Amino acid sequence: MLSSHDHTILVVDDFESIRKVISETLNRHGFTTVHARNGKDALDILQKGYHKIDLILSDYNMPDMSGFDLLKEVKSSQELKKHPFILLTSETNTEKKKQAKEAGLDAWIEKPYKIESFISLIKYNIDKSKKDVSI
């Protein structure tokens, strides 16, 4: 599995306190983080510097553009679709989860979560995306 060093995760959540807690956890495990407060801000960051982001970690329910709408935009873009996309959410609706999987979601993590499982899933999805690159 790849080392977490030199990997950047885009953390998308409308609550600054949540972004801060998630980022601190990721930073302690060697990841670099970039923040966005909603899907629109995240999409702007991705379009300007998509090659620097290794994984997108987004909340589901946010104003202006939800995590689900961001997921659909990312997975429909030739430049962005290779990015692993994880929803980290308190949303428990199974129909929404099914729709997200159908739209190309890589993983769904429900809050609260165990840090060890959270970090393992992030590393797994980054590692998987690097192996999926055509030779």
Percent of the chain with pLDDT over 70: 93
pLDDT tens by residue, 62-72: 999 999 999 99
Amino acid making up residue 118: F
* Domains detected in the chain: 8-131 (3.40.50.2300)
The pair of structure tokens assigned to 72 is 């659909």
Q: Does position 2 have pLDDT exceeding 80, yes or no? A: no
Query: What is the predicted pLDDT for the residue at 5?
Result: 61
pLDDT tens by residue, 8-54: 999 999 999 999 999 999 999 999 999 999 999 999 999 998 779 99
H helix intervals, the chain: 16-28, 39-49, 67-75, 94-102, 115-131
Beta-sheet strand order (sheet of 85-89):
32-36, 8-12, 55-58, 85-89, 107-110
Dihedral sign for Cα atoms in the order 113, 119, 121, 126: positive
